[in-house]
Structure 1
Amino acid sequence: METVSTGKESILGEDDHISRLPDAILGDIVSLLHTRDGGRTRILSSRWRHIWRSAPLNVDTCGRPPLWRIIPAGEISGILSSHLGPGRRFCIPMWVEKGADPAATLDGWLRSPALDGLQELEFHYSFLHQSSRMPPLPPSARRFCPTLRVASFGACAFPDGDAGGAVLNLPLLEQLSLMNVGISESSLHSMLAGCSALQSLVVTESIGSCSRIRIASRTLRSVAVQNAWGEVRLEQIIIGDAPCLERLLLFGDNFRKEMVISVVSAPKLQIFGQLPALCPRLEFGATIFQGSCVVNSSMVVPSVKVLALTHAELSLDVVIDFMKCFPCLENLYIQIKKGYSYNQSIKPGVTNAWRRKYQKLISTLDIRLKKIVVTTYRGNKAHVNFANFFVLNARVLQSMVLEADVSHNNDKAWIEKQHRLLQIENRASKAARFDFVFHFGRPMTLEYIWSDQVHDLSTADPFVGFDKWAKADP
């Protein structure tokens, strides 16, 4: 934008085509900016001064660790009092100041006319609340039931429908996150039944007094379960009639091994994981997994194309068992996690020797893998044997990414040795690319992925970010 400065005010230059747009379009542009940036557009010119006050309000204090901070209540109140509305997004995670009454403060904010017609609501009182001490769902939140499309509720208590409380009915809601909330089983089922447009759902393993959740939805495309803490933790999740379900995601590494997830009918399920090394138990009809191991493979699931596993040791036997269950698998992510106790299927000292053991299988096993990512690759005999199996037998492989110890970064001799051991020159797929990557900051992990990645259905693979580590020189 070209401007000419005249004193305290900037006058629009002749080439300022953006400011010639109608107010409605400018308002949409401003509402997509961060709250502070949207407010600052008023200084651009006199033409822009009124845009922010009338544009759909976007109050979003969200950040990712370590960016979370306490937002002064007066700052948020000032924004709401100075805006004419309507509202689009109100996102206040863990904002509470010492001495503040979070329930009363939030309820007052949500009554503001600046939030009329709100489409996105996210708040979380505190991770410290147990269900017996959770503040209630703000009564004023109900006024957005007809307009909400995105909702995330954290550490609040929902009214009990069995006790005469009104259950939320959200007919336009497409994305729902319930993070350590207090809610009864019947109220939860009633609320889900009222979400007739729901496409993605995130729940924590601790969810009120619920020990069992049954999910049946004709519209749901993504379900994620995150491990958590609480007085009551889920024992069973049943996914019944889910004809559009494409993703079943688990995040965390401390699930209770007693928990069972049963998939009754999900014919379009394509993305599955991350499966922790030891638990929970997952059932696809007669096919049963205990953590990241196959217990019974009586039924194949041909729809699954993306799989993420967490292993105590890199086991070729386990991966081949999964490939038999998921014969159309294309993308495979494996995280090797130190500190797990070994289970019966993964023994210490595994070598992954395969030439004699799988000599007959190789001619019949249709390996459709196009992408393989392995974390904490050590370059020892077992890891080399594992990767070598796919180098020599995966005929349509396009990419193999091996995340190695940072001590090998720029160690060309070590990388060249690994290429020789893996027999890259003899690879079955001549178009395949092999990359060693090294992570210099926070160790990368499959267990923790943000809710917005779960809800973002525009990406074909929610684990694809693992390709964005620093790559070694070839």
Structure 2
Amino acid sequence: MEKAMAAPTAKNRESAVRSLWKWVQSSSCKGDIISGLPDAILGTIISLLPTKDGARTQAISLRWRPLWRSAPLNLDLDAALCPDDSARASLVSRILSDHSGPARRFCCHSIRLDDDHDRALLDGWFRALANLQELDVSFVRPSPRPETDDAVASSLLRLASSTLVVAKIGGCNFSRQIVPSSSIFPRLKDLELHYVSLSEEFLHGVLSGCRVLESLLLWNIFAATGRICITSPTLRSIGFRLCAGRAELVVDNTPRLERLLTVFVGSAGDTLRVTGAPRLEILGPLSPSVQVLQGMIPVSSANSIGTVKILALTSAPQLNVVLDVLKCFPCLEKLYVILQKDLKMDVEHVSHHDPLDQVKCLGTNLTEMVLLNYLGCEQDVAFAKFFVLNAAVLKKIKFGVPRNYNNEWVAIQRRLLEVNNRASRDAEVEFECGLDDFINYLGIHDLSLTDPFERLCSE
């Protein structure tokens, strides 16, 4: 029986529509073969086009002229469409006034909230965005004002209709006593909050109202206590980064969670606790300092996380520190280590016994390893050589080098690493130039990615 073909993603659908539109506009399209389609189909095509192209369809012919006004609106106020911040507000108001149909997507960044007029204007926009499916907004405030925070929060919560599927919100303050309704986002699948202040109570209320939420990104979050607690029966992917200060992330009772993508700086007191996540397979990037991991996985085989198959660590090239972490992941199949020489590692509680003791994954499961930021210095070589000589089932080890190199340098590195004596004769040793910014790689909402960390070593 043939395997069913996966449904196309929204991004793929938009790409296909844009390709079709370019073909229609090109000379290779002879005659008007598309205008005969039903209004509903033409309206869908218009709603998936960029905002400017969608509006331009009114000039094609009399057949197309009324369609834009009734088609689901895709309103994306990017810098190319409206580079002047002061003109953006009037443009949004004019488009919403001219467009009588429903809204599919609204994207507008750096919305200024200087006075009561701005807040009233924003509230009017959100009232006009009926049946919205995708929301992507961020705000600029001249100074924190409780009345502004409350007004924005109230407008956003009022917009939380039964149709919203994707929500990305930045530059807001939800830290006051704002309690969402129990069914705030009944159809929401992707939620992203960035540069947002929030309280535990608010986040708990939002997550409780999201009955089908699959991915959550909390990026550069300001939390009054530094503690964020996430509980959800539906979440499959979580991304997290606290903006400043000591961080404590508690992930509890998430039975469908598959990926936990985080950035911890490893400062004293940072804690990660995960309980009730039986499907968790992808974790990181984490600092392996004991303070970060101790709440989640005390260094004991009895508390190991047997489901994690892909792990990313940000670490200085200190072998004992990394091996102490690996002991907690007996089923690990792929390991990323982002080497940072200047990263301070707290090794007070690190084991100093036989490095191979209890590191089960090295002999049974670890088939692929990626070392990023590899410079080939003495510390790097000593760290990497251990895995070359001891990872018994390794099939590939890749070195990401953040600078240009030549064949002579590679030959020297292979000799220093003792590649000819590698534990796994089948292991391929590769060197690649280039290193992506690991902080910005996160593909939190793309659940089709089997390994989101692969972007780290893309050229």
Task: Tell me the TM-score normalised to structure 2 length.
Answer: 0.79
| Counterpart in the other structure of 1:242 | 254
How far the C-alpha of 1:125 sits from its partner, in A, is 1.1
Structure 1 residues 23 and 44, CA gap change in structure 2 (3 angstroms): same
Cα-to-partner distance string for 1:299-333 (whole Å, 9 max, x where unaligned):
1111101111111x212323322322111112222
- Cα distance in 1, alignment partners of residues 369 and 142 from structure 2: 39
Structure 1 residues 427 and 102, CA gap change in structure 2 (3 angstroms): farther
AA paired with 1:122? Answer: D
How far the C-alpha of 1:234 sits from its partner, in A, is 6.8
| Higher share in helix | 2
How far the C-alpha of 1:265 sits from its partner, in A, is 1.2
Q: How does 1:25-104 map to 2 (within 5 A)?
A: 25-44=41-60, 47-61=63-77, 70=85, 72-96=88-112, 102-104=118-120
AA paired with 1:328? Answer: C
Q: Which of 230, 237, 251 is 1:222 aligned to?
A: 237
| Counterpart in the other structure of 2:377 | 380
How far the C-alpha of 1:123 sits from its partner, in A, is 1.6
The answer to whether structure 1 residue 414 and structure 2 residue 409 are counterparts is: yes
AA paired with 1:172? Answer: R
How far the C-alpha of 1:132 sits from its partner, in A, is 5.3
Q: Which of 268, 271, 275 is 2:279 aligned to?
A: 268
- Cα distance in 2, alignment partners of residues 72 and 383 from structure 1: 51
- Cα distance in 2, alignment partners of residues 27 and 241 from structure 1: 42
Any conservation in 2 of the 1:134–1:157 contact (CA below 8 Å)? no
Cα-to-partner distance string for 1:432-459 (whole Å, 9 max, x where unaligned):
44332223xxx63323345xx2122121
Task: Tell me the TM-score normalised to structure 1 length.
Answer: 0.77
Any conservation in 2 of the 1:32–1:58 contact (CA below 8 Å)? yes
AA paired with 1:126? Answer: V
How far the C-alpha of 1:105 sits from its partner, in A, is 3.0
5+ residue gaps, structure 1: 6-10, 289-294, 348-353, 470-474
- SS at 2:306's partner residue? coil
Structure 1 residues 362 and 256, CA gap change in structure 2 (3 angstroms): closer
How far the C-alpha of 1:334 sits from its partner, in A, is 1.4
Structure 1 residues 427 and 25, CA gap change in structure 2 (3 angstroms): farther
The answer to whether structure 1 residue 328 and structure 2 residue 331 are counterparts is: yes
The answer to whether structure 1 residue 13 and structure 2 residue 25 are counterparts is: no
- Cα distance in 1, alignment partners of residues 57 and 186 from structure 2: 35
Structure 1 residues 387 and 211, CA gap change in structure 2 (3 angstroms): closer
AA paired with 2:167? Answer: A
| Counterpart in the other structure of 1:437 | 432
Across the aligned residues of Structure 1 and Structure 2, the Cα RMSD in angstroms comes to 3.8
- Cα distance in 1, alignment partners of residues 374 and 349 from structure 2: 17
Cα-to-partner distance string for 1:84-129 (whole Å, 9 max, x where unaligned):
32111112222438889543332222122xx210011122213875
Alignment coverage as a number of residue pairs: 432
How far the C-alpha of 1:56 sits from its partner, in A, is 1.8
- SS at 2:273's partner residue? strand
- SS at 1:94's partner residue? strand
- Cα distance in 2, alignment partners of residues 321 and 399 from structure 1: 22
